[in-house]
Amino acid sequence: MDDWVVVAVFDEMNDAVQKEKARIEDIALDVGLMPEKVIRVEDKGKIEILVHPEFYTYYEG
């Protein structure tokens, strides 16, 4: 299962993206995961923050 889940979308790269990414990284650390393995940011016309599907089970809770 490699369908990463979009958890946030922004119009452009700015401080709000960095703050949301940092918040999600803190959640990953809290559940014992390495943020660089379970979170990524992609530019697809809009800036998307994606999380690995296994991490998403923690994130959505």
pLDDT at 59: 64
Structural domain spans, the chain = 5-59
Q: How far apart are CA 13 and CA 1, in angstroms?
A: 28
Q: How far apart are CA 18 and CA 21, in angstroms?
A: 5
Cα→Cα distances 51→3, 13, 15, Å: 9, 17, 19
The residue among 60 and 44 whose pLDDT is bigger is 44
Q: How far apart are CA 32 and CA 10, in angstroms?
A: 27
pLDDT at 58: 75
Tracing tokens 């809770």 back to the chain, one arrives at 61
Helices (H), 1-61: 15-30, 35-38, 53-59
